[in-house]
Structure 1
Amino acid sequence: MEYLNAELDSKIQLKLYKDMLLPRLIEEKMLILLRQGKISKWFSGIGQEAISVGVTNALTSEEYVLPMHRNLGVFTTRGIPLDRLFSQWQGKANGFTKGRDRSFHFGTQEYKIVGMISHLGPQLGVADGIALANKLKNEKLVTAVFTGEGGTSEGDFHEALNVAAVWDLPVLFCIENNGYGLSTPTNEQYKCKDLANKGIGYGMESHIIDGNNILEVFTTVNNLCESIRKNSRPVLLEFKTFRMRGHEEASGTKYVPEELMDFWKDKDPIANYENFLLDEEILTEELIKDIKSEIGLDIDKKLEQTFQETPISYNKSNELDDVLKYIDYQSYDHGNIIKNIRLVDAISEGLKQSMERHGDLVILGQDVAEYGGVFKVTEGFVEIFGKDRVRNTPICESAIVSAAMGLSINGMKAVVEMQFADFASSGFNPIVNYLAKSHYRWGQHADVVIRMPCGGGVGAGPFHSQTNEAWFTKTPGLKVLYPAFPYDAKGLLNTAINDPNPVLFFEHKALYRSIYQEVPTDYYTLPLGKASILKEGEAISIVTYGAGVHWALEVLEKHEGIKADLIDLRTLQPLDTETIYKSVMKTGKLIILQEDSLFGGIASDVSALVMENCFRYLDAPVKRVASSETPIPFAKELEEHYLPKARFQTALLELVAY
């Protein structure tokens, strides 16, 4: 292995050695503990230390790095206390996730590290968002993100590279090509000769680096970082290396040819570099012995400290309280000036006023800039706020949701417009696994609102008409809002944007331009988790939301003799169970109407909650009414029979007469 060090200070060369040696000695200790049954699992990075250490040393302490589970050297080079790392791996309270996640699945703002999730791909888009925030704040900083050669096959990889290229984001995409994805060799994972070639298709600069040569890694990456800070752009780096141990220790390496293991053993990054430093007289045998002894003693001391730490205890309220970041709701009252506007206008007005109040708020979405979005909610916004803050995105929902998370991590706010709520399926993973779980896992909130134009009644067919709120109400860590009126839409949207937690904001397309209401012109907010009682009566309780509210109103107008409590939920998570229970205790009968198909929807949960908590007050079975158990058809006649509007009237009359 050839080392070029002509311009590199000997102190830096020695530091690089120590920085590689520390994770290696930690790993060797962990493998002993694993065999002793003192830790449960280990993902080894032995043989790959030069990449983590070289890249991290090239970054400043202000620059974010997003590592994987073989990047122990990132964590140690950033100076995270060993006792906290050991506590993290053992699920102790002194760790970073309070025992809620394992190994390297954590982040820390203090050390500017954002850990992975097991789905791998989303962190690449998160890096885009962090870098975008740096760029918008005019901070000349680089963001580095790691993935493996296997991860380059994921759609998130391609989406993130494309976004970074289109937006000239200062991101280092670091591919650790270590030969195998678990047991699958590279020749079964991709066809191109080098993964660096994938950068060409995105118009991106790329380099191939010997990942076992610490001086090549550090000097190349350091020079690139200096260049990127001056000239913002993404760069793809392929580090050629090898995984010397199993995917995780239980997997073993029997599938690897022995001659291949021998070849890479001879290329060990620490042994080779150690010999080089000895030849250069930067190291001596005595100094090596002293360094290893000092590191070993520190590891043993911190391990013993961790072993003595009390096992974490379960506290139900702590667990529930940490799912979402606490927010003290701030009420903003409006003045007396009102105007009669449509639902779409109220949403646009709320969004515009929120953009004025929050200079760090960025809108992301397909066609949201000059075109104003397909429903014209952001029409004219570019002229007011500029293209930096109102950003057209490529068609890549997963990367954009992840980028919104990155903006939040780096201190900004994001509103993402799904062109249609149906398309959230393409961004489902980062919504339910990244945004929803981050605060519970490591205390990082996701200050992201995802606008969801949804619903049927407009002849848009199976892929533009779904009302898919139940996909998300199921997931702890997400708030879900679904207003039916302009006044509610504006106030709730403003509250959602103020809220530091991830919010799915459903907007029914059929109501956009058909529902008018007197709405204050001023900025105002409405509390989440408070249903609206539109009508009051003693005969029956009707619970609904979205378009169902207007269907119920039409039916009640036809049947003036039915005196009902009509409850518009407005927010589905959090759910106002208090209002529901109070109404049911008064009327003794409950019918729940939803536009979504019946099985697994909100109506099922409301019904179950009432049965569990109000059973003795019921005078009749709880009735649920919903759309048919089919995809949403296109033809008008079929769609009319699919939607539950007509069936609701029949069911209501039957229940009243029960």
Structure 2
Amino acid sequence: MNYSKYQISKEMHLQLYTAMLKPRMIEEKMLVLLRQGKISKWFSGIGQEAISVGVTSALKDNEYILPMHRNLGVFTTRNVPLDKLFAQWQGKQYGFTKGRDRSFHFGSQAHNIIGMISHLGPQLGVADGIALAHKLKNKKLVTAVFSGEGGTSEGDFHEALNLAAVWDLPVLFCVENNGYAISTPTNEQFKCKSIADKGIGYGIESYSINGNNILKVYKKVKKLAKSMRKNPRPILIEFRTFRVRGHEEASGTKYVPKKILKKWKAKDPLENYENYLINKNILSKENKRLIKNKIDNELKLNTSSFNAMEDSEYSIKKELADVFKKHYYQDIPQGAIVKNIRFVDAISEGLKQSMEIHDNLIIMGQDIAEYGGVFKITEGFVEKFGKNRIRNTPICESAIISAAMGLSINGMKAMVEMQFADFASSGFNSIVNYLAKSHYRWGQNADVVIRMPCGGGISAGPFHSQTNEAWFTKTPGLKVVYPAFPIDAKGLLATAINDPNPVLFFEHKALYRTINENVPADYYTTPFGKASFIESGEDITVVSYGLGVHWAIETLNNNSDINADLIDLRTLHPLDIETVYTSVKKTGRLIILQEDSLFGSISSDISALVTENCFDYLDAPIKRVASVETPIPFAAHLEENYLGKSRFETALLELLRY
């Protein structure tokens, strides 16, 4: 390797050498501990240290880096405490995730490092969000994010690159092309000659460099980062390297031809650089020994405490407490001045008032700027708040939700509008695996609200009519809100935005312009986890939410002789089950009405909970009424028969006759 062409000081040479030697020595120690059964798994980055160390050394300490599981050099170069790292790898209480996750699946805000998740792709969009926050704050900083060559086949990679290009985000996409994704070689991953070619289609400046030459990596990244701070834009760098050990140690390398392994072992970044420094009298044998001894002593000091470290003790109370960031609800009462507005106007007004209160709130979504969104919720927002805060997005739900997470990591609030709730499936991974799990894993909250225009009754067919709340009520770490009235929609939206945790906010499209009521004009909040009584009676308890509440009201109005407790849940997580219990103990009968199909739904959980806790009070079986177990049909007469409304009255009367 050609090192002579790069002019740096002797001190910097030794700093880079030491920075590469440290992760190598740690890895060698970890392989010993793996064989001894003291750690469960290891993803080796031996032979790739020049990339992690070079990139990290070239960036400022206050610039975020999003590494992967072969980037130990990022953590050691940023001086993450070794004892905490070792505790993390052993699942100890002192580790970054308290034993809840393994490897490098964590972050450290103190070191501006945001770790990966096993699904790989979302962190690329997270880097976009972090960089966007820097740009909005006028901070001239770069964000670096790592991916392997296998990860560039994921849709998230392409979405993130495109978004960064469209928004001119200062993201350094670092792709480590190490030959194999587990056992799949690069020629089975992509057809283009170089990964750097993938940036061309997105208008991104791209480079392919020798990732085993520490000076090449360091100097190139330093130069590009300086340019990106001055002229914010994304850049893609392919680092050509090789994985000389297995994907993880158990997988081995038998699938790699011996000739290729021998070739790349000769290109070892540490050995070659060490030989160069010795030949140039920059590193003496005595200095080498002193450096190694210092690192070795640090390793011995930290590994000796393994057995003394506390194991993670299981406590249901503590586990549940860490699913969400603690949030103390601030009750802002409704004012006396009211105006009669529609459901859609209540959402728009509540969102506008939250934008005025939270100057760090960013709204993102398709067609939400000048067009005002397909439902015109954000009409006029661009004129009032500007395009920096009201951001049209490409059609890339996964990248946008990930970017919302990045905004939260970097101190902002994010609101994402799904054009239709159905389309959340395209960002499902980012919601259920990144937003929902981050606080439980390593204490990083997701200050993100996702608005979900949902529901049928408007002849929109299978892809624009789903009410898919059960996808998310099943997932710990998400809050799910589903108002039925304008007054609740406005207050609950304000609460959702104030809450520093991820909230799925369902808005039934059929209610947008069909229902109106007197709504307080000023800003106010409505608490989560508190159902409301629409009607009160002794005969039966009716539980519903969203459009189902209005179906129930219509049915009860048509049967004036029925005296029912009609409960509007308003929020599905947290769920006010105690109010349901109280009512059932009074009436002895329960019917649950929902628009969603029946199997695996929220009504199933409510039914089970009431059976477990109120069985002695029941005078009849619990009845659930829902839509048919099919996709939602388009034609109006088919949809009408599909929806649970058509069967509710019959079921209600049957239950009362039991």
TM-score category (smaller protein): over 0.9
What secondary structure, in the 3-state scheme, does the structure 2 residue paired with 1:553 have?
Answer: helix
Structure 1 residue 12: Cα displacement: 1.1
Deviations 1:402-427 (Å, cap 9, x if unpaired)? 00000000000000000000000000
The 5-angstrom pairing of residues 199-348 of structure 1 reads: 199-348=199-348
**What is the CA–CA distance in structure 2 between the aligned matches of 1:327 and 1:629, rounded to whole Å?**
38
Structure 1 residue 32: Cα displacement: 0.7
Pairing 1:91–2:86 present: no
Structure 1 residue 279: Cα displacement: 1.8
Q: What is the match of residue 36 of structure 2? A: 36
**What is the CA–CA distance in structure 1 between the aligned matches of 2:494 and 2:311, rounded to whole Å?**
42
**What is the CA–CA distance in structure 2 between the aligned matches of 1:114 and 1:510, rounded to whole Å?**
41
Deviations 1:612-645 (Å, cap 9, x if unpaired)? 0000000000000000000000000000000011
Q: What is the match of residue 379 of structure 1? A: 379
Give the letter aligned to residue 250 of structure 1. A
What secondary structure, in the 3-state scheme, does the structure 2 residue paired with 1:32 have?
Answer: helix
Q: What is the match of residue 397 of structure 1? A: 397
Q: What is the aligned-residue RMSD (CA, Å)? A: 0.6
**What is the CA–CA distance in structure 2 between the aligned matches of 1:90 and 1:163, rounded to whole Å?**
37
Pairing 1:645–2:634 present: no
Deviations 1:426-465 (Å, cap 9, x if unpaired)? 0000000000000000000000000000000000000000
What secondary structure, in the 3-state scheme, does the structure 1 residue paired with 2:307 have?
Answer: helix
Q: What is the match of residue 632 of structure 1? A: 632
Q: Contact (CA 8 Å) 1:543, 1:593: kept in 2 or not?
A: yes
Pairing 1:590–2:590 present: yes
What secondary structure, in the 3-state scheme, does the structure 1 residue paired with 2:624 have?
Answer: strand
Structure 1 residue 535: Cα displacement: 0.3
Q: Contact (CA 8 Å) 2:6, 2:215: kept in 1 or not?
A: no
Q: Contact (CA 8 Å) 1:487, 1:519: kept in 2 or not?
A: yes
Q: What is the match of residue 362 of structure 2? A: 362
What secondary structure, in the 3-state scheme, does the structure 2 residue paired with 1:398 have?
Answer: helix
Deviations 1:511-531 (Å, cap 9, x if unpaired)? 000010100110000000000
Deviations 1:586-620 (Å, cap 9, x if unpaired)? 00000000000000001100000000000000000
What secondary structure, in the 3-state scheme, does the structure 1 residue paired with 2:20 have?
Answer: helix
Pairing 1:614–2:602 present: no
Aligned residues: 658
**What is the CA–CA distance in structure 2 between the aligned matches of 1:93 and 1:290, rounded to whole Å?**
33
**What is the CA–CA distance in structure 1 between the aligned matches of 2:591 and 2:4, rounded to whole Å?**
76
Q: What is the match of residue 78 of structure 1? A: 78
Deviating more after overlay: 3-12 vs 635-644: 3-12
Q: What is the match of residue 57 of structure 1? A: 57
Q: What is the match of residue 540 of structure 1? A: 540
Give the letter aligned to residue 369 of structure 2. A
Q: What is the match of residue 516 of structure 1? A: 516
**What is the CA–CA distance in structure 1 between the aligned matches of 2:166 and 2:468, rounded to whole Å?**
31
What secondary structure, in the 3-state scheme, does the structure 1 residue paired with 2:419 have?
Answer: coil
The 5-angstrom pairing of residues 470-489 of structure 1 reads: 470-489=470-489
Q: What is the match of residue 623 of structure 1? A: 623
Q: What is the match of residue 424 of structure 1? A: 424
TM-score (norm. length: structure 1): 1.00
Q: Contact (CA 8 Å) 1:22, 1:295: kept in 2 or not?
A: yes
**What is the CA–CA distance in structure 1 between the aligned matches of 2:382 and 2:160, rounded to whole Å?**
24
Q: What is the match of residue 553 of structure 1? A: 553
Q: Contact (CA 8 Å) 1:368, 1:390: kept in 2 or not?
A: yes
**What is the CA–CA distance in structure 1 between the aligned matches of 2:289 and 2:417, rounded to whole Å?**
59
Q: What is the match of residue 195 of structure 1? A: 195
**What is the CA–CA distance in structure 2 between the aligned matches of 1:164 and 1:390, rounded to whole Å?**
17
What secondary structure, in the 3-state scheme, does the structure 1 residue paired with 2:591 have?
Answer: strand
**What is the CA–CA distance in structure 1 between the aligned matches of 2:76 and 2:524, rounded to whole Å?**
47
Give the letter aligned to residue 116 of structure 1. M
Q: What is the match of residue 600 of structure 1? A: 600
Q: Contact (CA 8 Å) 1:165, 1:202: kept in 2 or not?
A: yes
Sequence identity of aligned pairs in percent? 72
Q: Contact (CA 8 Å) 1:542, 1:567: kept in 2 or not?
A: yes
Q: What is the match of residue 493 of structure 1? A: 493
**What is the CA–CA distance in structure 2 between the aligned matches of 1:59 and 1:619, rounded to whole Å?**
69
**What is the CA–CA distance in structure 2 between the aligned matches of 1:640 and 1:135, rounded to whole Å?**
49
What secondary structure, in the 3-state scheme, does the structure 2 residue paired with 1:305 have?
Answer: coil
Q: Contact (CA 8 Å) 1:179, 1:241: kept in 2 or not?
A: yes
**What is the CA–CA distance in structure 2 between the aligned matches of 1:470 and 1:4, rounded to whole Å?**
61
Structure 1 residue 5: Cα displacement: 5.2
What secondary structure, in the 3-state scheme, does the structure 1 residue paired with 2:33 have?
Answer: helix
**What is the CA–CA distance in structure 2 between the aligned matches of 1:309 and 1:325, rounded to whole Å?**
26
The 5-angstrom pairing of residues 125-144 of structure 1 reads: 125-144=125-144
**What is the CA–CA distance in structure 2 between the aligned matches of 1:283 and 1:7, rounded to whole Å?**
16
Deviations 1:36-83 (Å, cap 9, x if unpaired)? 111111000000000000000111111000000000000000000100
Provide structure 2 residue ranges, at least 5 long, that are not aligned to the other structure.
none
Structure 1 residue 93: Cα displacement: 1.3
**What is the CA–CA distance in structure 1 between the aligned matches of 2:128 and 2:314, rounded to whole Å?**
36
What secondary structure, in the 3-state scheme, does the structure 2 residue paired with 1:138 have?
Answer: coil
Q: Contact (CA 8 Å) 1:5, 1:215: kept in 2 or not?
A: no
Q: What is the match of residue 440 of structure 2? A: 440
Give the letter aligned to residue 534 of structure 1. I
Structure 1 residue 306: Cα displacement: 2.7
The 5-angstrom pairing of residues 91-130 of structure 1 reads: 91-130=91-130
Deviations 1:80-109 (Å, cap 9, x if unpaired)? 010000000001111100100001000011
Give the letter aligned to residue 97 of structure 2. T
Q: Contact (CA 8 Å) 1:416, 1:448: kept in 2 or not?
A: yes
Q: What is the match of residue 408 of structure 2? A: 408
**What is the CA–CA distance in structure 2 between the aligned matches of 1:545 and 1:314, rounded to whole Å?**
36
Deviations 1:117-175 (Å, cap 9, x if unpaired)? 00000000000000000000000000000000000000000000000000000000000
Moved over 2 A (4+): 4-7
**What is the CA–CA distance in structure 2 between the aligned matches of 1:307 and 1:172, rounded to whole Å?**
40
Structure 1 residue 7: Cα displacement: 3.0
Q: What is the match of residue 3 of structure 1? A: 3
Structure 1 residue 481: Cα displacement: 0.2
Q: Contact (CA 8 Å) 2:121, 2:156: kept in 1 or not?
A: yes
Provide structure 1 residue ranges, at least 5 long, that are not aligned to the other structure.
none
What secondary structure, in the 3-state scheme, does the structure 2 residue paired with 1:446 have?
Answer: coil
Q: Contact (CA 8 Å) 1:454, 1:506: kept in 2 or not?
A: yes
Deviations 1:280-332 (Å, cap 9, x if unpaired)? 21100111111111111110110111331121211110000000011010011
What secondary structure, in the 3-state scheme, does the structure 1 residue paired with 2:108 have?
Answer: coil
**What is the CA–CA distance in structure 2 between the aligned matches of 1:494 and 1:243, rounded to whole Å?**
50
- Alpha-carbon distance change, 339 to 172 in structure 1, aligned in 2, over 3 angstroms: same
Give the letter aligned to residue 249 of structure 1. E
**What is the CA–CA distance in structure 1 between the aligned matches of 2:6 and 2:499, rounded to whole Å?**
53
**What is the CA–CA distance in structure 2 between the aligned matches of 1:191 and 1:541, rounded to whole Å?**
62
Q: What is the match of residue 182 of structure 1? A: 182
**What is the CA–CA distance in structure 1 between the aligned matches of 2:641 and 2:309, rounded to whole Å?**
63
**What is the CA–CA distance in structure 2 between the aligned matches of 1:562 and 1:130, rounded to whole Å?**
56
Give the letter aligned to residue 426 of structure 2. S
Give the letter aligned to residue 314 of structure 1. Y
Structure 1 residue 6: Cα displacement: 4.5
**What is the CA–CA distance in structure 2 between the aligned matches of 1:9 and 1:491, rounded to whole Å?**
61
Q: Contact (CA 8 Å) 1:4, 1:216: kept in 2 or not?
A: no
TM-score (norm. length: structure 2): 1.00
